[in-house]
Chain A
Amino acid sequence: MTIQIGNYSLCLAVLVGAMVLLLSLASIQRQSPQFLSYARRGMLLFAGLITTASAMLMIATINTDFRLDYVTHYTERALPLGYKLAAFWAGQEGSLLLWAWLLAVLSVIAVFLHRAEAKEKAFTLAALAVVCSFFAALILFAANPFKLAEVVAADGHGLNPMLQDPGMIAHPPMLFLGYAGFTIPFALMVGALLSGRKDHDWLKAVRWWSVASWLFLSVGILLGAQWAYVELGWGGYWAWDPVENASLLPWLTGTALLHTVMVQQQRGMLKGLNAALIAVTFILCIFGTYLTRSGVVQSVHSFGESLIGTFFLIFLAITVLASVGLIFARRRDLQPEQKMETVIGREGAFLATGWLLIVVTVITLIGTIFPLISGIFMQQGISVSQSFYNTTVGPVSLLLAALMATGPLLRYGKNVTSSLVRNLTAPVIVAIAVTGWLWIRGIHNGWALVAGFIAAAAVVVITVDFVRSAWIRAAAHHENLFVGALRLVDGNHRRYGGQVTHVGVLMLIIGVVGSSQFSVKENFELKAGQSAVIGGYTLTLQKLEEVRRENYSAVQALVNFESSDGIAGTLIPQRRFYDKSEESSASVAITSTWREDLYVTLAGWEQEGGRATVQAIVNPLVSWIWIGGIVLTAGGMICLIPRIEPHHQPQPAMAPVEAKVIEHKPIETKSGKRHGKSRKQKVRQ
């Protein structure tokens, strides 16, 4: 029964998707609100159908229904429940279904929250319907998870041991939420541009959806990095692997968009750039899925080649052409409303941020597809190694970090060169002191010194700006400093959420520099009771032993460690032999402090005599990456949540600014614009 329901739901979803498209186009042509209302309900039905199909697949994986080919290949009876759930997206078909499901749900939310003229709503709906139908058709025709097995097996093949990691449960859904989420800003843009909308109110929704998608994408990437860090053979938390790059590309353009879109909202500039960034980010999300799913580029994470590559390529081509055509056709609407008055102002900094991020995107894209490009022009392909990315992306990232340091000190349309010099004096002095301290501590590495300098300056600027503003506010309103600080943040979520995010990114940079430049690695052959020393840690092999778990047996080493400052414990690296897998796989053991990670792997052992080979790595500052990630996430969430405390200004019936984000009213012509501006100014007080 579940199989039939799943199959029929997919078939119907394709039809309903197409219907939504036709109905929304018809509603524009006939100016019929009735058709639009049908189309909206059609979208709800589409989401319902995809949800049903997903639920059926989920039931099948949980019940290990081996009538399905897909279930047979990715589960086994003894698989723990969490991984049975995750087996849903372990393969091609299921991953695409997850993508489609998330897209369908987000589309419905977007459609029902969309406040705009009927025509704009209809165009947005049509754009969403195209993407939704594409995914539904792709799954039904090229990657159907409900394909029956030729023979019903007694037990399944089990989930690949490398995928039996908590990362498998959380990383793909987060990443796909980010990917699917960036479809919404694209659809909103299509609606706004095609309906010829002239104001900037629609950008609030674009920004809200972009921040949310960006947040999920960031969390997804970080979870992936964490997983790759503990999985041997994936080259650490970041290896510039094509699959990793595929997720980074839309993140980079998405980050650029979050900055440049504010210039359009506040000043009516950079419209063309924003339109391009919205389109490119969406296209890169599709491209990323294509890259990981088509197997065109060699990767450690390859997922197998298949026909769906062709589907994706055609869809990509259509999207690119349509976007270019749309932006070209609406180029008159995308002219700036005013000229830039100064480079050393906020708009200049946002523009520079945008361009630098685009540069990083282009570098990463070229590096990723270099084997393909060079394959066209030369007889043999050329691939670029990690050092290509590190030498190019590294300096540009530090430049971006330096821009973060100036962020809070800049104003729109005002040359602040003189005050900038004044305001930067103290932070630079602190930064020099920090760099000097690093030098004295024996750190003479150029990357570390420059990164330390920039990060110190930026953190001081952000902190001083915040404390000073909170102080002024508290004094003016006769509040205590803590309440003043909270109200300050509540008064401008976007600004202070952004600053918190910047602090997170700076921590991340420190972590990356520390762990990439100062990592120590050594292999030890130890007998029980023997000790070895690495980077201030003493390691002692306690014993080797065999253990049995639910679906694997393992050989494990009990390694006692003691650091020079007295922290002690036991690490248990394993080599696991999964029942359903021919290869053994390593499970590493890690202990973390804020200063460094001790990373221990059981490389091998002698059957007799209990001698083990242990690889130990001391990775400084890795935990800064993860904590930076948490801080970054917190910052993003501050940006997203609506204002908590109502306005003090007498403004009846005026909802909080951030809450209005997704429910903007139909445009009230020119007066609406002026109205919006005055509200902004009040908020900033």
Chain B
Amino acid sequence: MNSIKLKLTVGAFVLLLAVSYLAIAGVKKGWVYFMPLDQYVADPTYQSRRVRLNGNVGEDQLQIDRAGLLAVFNLKGQSQQIRVEYHGMIPDMFRAHHEVVVEGQLGTDNVFHADMLMTKCASKYQAEGHPKVQPEAKS
């Protein structure tokens, strides 16, 4: 009986070790800081790393070249902004004033080079201008 328990314990232990190893390897590979734009611009600690930033697409100097798979735009936070150059397929809902998430790294030219761009467009799934509080419907 005891040997069964021992085997199970050893098995579980080996499994745990293996999976922890994998998890650590995975985290090392896939570890990405994400932060609001203002914090990123204000704090240079993370500017040498690959990060994920959250902000709004500025209307001025917005270049969308779908054919060339290139978008250059200003990503705006509350008070700060940064120039972003994104290479890749441009999502359908990418346009000015929309909230986007970009992932990449700051280049020596002080332009943020992104290779991942996600449009966060809650307002389109959850219909636009949907007031959160509205007078109770009286039928």
Contacts and interface: CB of A to CB of B under 8 A. Distances in A.
A33 B104 CA distance: 66
A147 B137 contact: yes
Contact of B19 (A162, A389, A392): A392
A516 to B, nearest CB: 15
Interface string B32-47: 1111000100000010
B26 A391 contact: yes
A381 to B, nearest CB: 5
A199 to B, nearest CB: 25
Given A304-B126, A387-B30, A363 B15 contact: no
B127 A388 contact: no
B137 A7 contact: yes
A146 B137 CA distance: 8
A245 B115 CA distance: 23
Nearest to B29: A387
Interface stretch (B55-63, B64-72, B77-85, B105-113): B64-72
Given A73-B130, A381-B34, A343 B122 contact: no
Contacts of B67: 525, 603-606, 612-613
Given A298-B54, A298-B120, A604-B65, A382 B34 contact: yes
A525 B91 CA distance: 19
Interface in A285-313: 295, 298, 300-307
Interface in A348-375: 351-352, 355-356, 359, 363, 366, 371
Interface string B117-139: 01111111111101010100111
B89 A356 contact: no
A341 interface: yes
A563 interface: no
Interface in A37-83: 69, 72-74
Contacts of A219: none
Given A382-B34, A388-B26, A604 B126 contact: no
A304 B123 contact: yes
Contacts of A387: 26, 29-30
B15 A604 contact: no
A550 interface: no
A233 interface: yes
Given A341-B4, A343-B4, A392-B19, A382 B11 contact: no
A351 B91 CA distance: 44
A583 B65 contact: no
A291 to B, nearest CB: 14
Contacts of B127: 72-74, 91, 157
Using C-beta atoms within 8 Å of the partner chain, give the interface range for chain A.
Answer: 35 or more
A300 B118 contact: yes
Contact of A233 (B26, B35, B91): B91
Contacts of B138: 148
- Binding site secondary structure of chain A: mixed
Interface string A460-489: 000000000000000000000000000000
Contacts of B19: 359, 363, 392, 396
Nearest to B10: A343
A384 interface: yes
A214 B123 CA distance: 32
Contacts of B39: 379-380
Nearest to B45: A380
A614 to B, nearest CB: 10
A586 interface: yes
Nearest to B6: A343
B26 A384 contact: yes
A584 B93 CA distance: 8
B92 A339 contact: no
B124 A160 contact: yes
A386 B26 CA distance: 9
A306 B67 CA distance: 37
A382 B122 CA distance: 22
Contacts of A389: 26, 30
A163 B90 CA distance: 18
A302 B92 contact: no
A582 interface: yes
A583 B93 contact: yes
Contacts of B30: 384-389, 391
Contacts of A339: 1, 4
Contacts of B22: 391-392, 395-396
Contacts of A302: 120-122, 125
Contacts of B69: 523, 603, 613, 615
B76 interface: no
A619 interface: no
Given A583-B95, A603-B66, A613-B69, A371 B15 contact: no
B95 A613 contact: no
A356 B14 CA distance: 12
B89 A343 contact: no
Contact of A383 (B1, B29, B34, B89): B34
Contacts of B68: 604, 613
Interface in A72-125: 72-74, 91-92
A276 B11 CA distance: 21
Nearest to B118: A300
B26 A585 contact: no
Contacts of B89: 232-233, 601, 603, 615
A344 B48 CA distance: 51
A72 B127 CA distance: 9
A552 to B, nearest CB: 13
A295 B122 contact: yes
A642 interface: no
Interface of A: 3-4, 7, 69, 72-74, 91-92, 144, 146-148, 150, 157, 160-163, 232-233, 295, 298, 300-307, 339-343, 351-352, 355-356, 359, 363, 366, 371, 379-392, 395-396, 523, 525, 582-586, 601, 603-606, 612-613, 615
Given A380-B34, A383-B32, 15 more contacts: A233-B92, A233-B118, A304-B122, A340-B4, A343-B7, A343-B8, A380-B33, A385-B29, A388-B29, A389-B26, A583-B92, A586-B92, A603-B66, A603-B89, A613-B66
22 contacts: A7-B137, A72-B127, A147-B134, A233-B89, A233-B91, A298-B54, A303-B126, A304-B122, A339-B1, A340-B4, A340-B8, A381-B35, A385-B30, A385-B31, A386-B30, A387-B30, A392-B23, A396-B19, A396-B22, A523-B69, A585-B92, A613-B68
The list of the 9 closest CB pairs from A to B, nearest first, reads: A304-B126, A604-B67, A73-B127, A388-B30, A604-B66, A233-B91, A613-B67, A391-B26, A385-B30
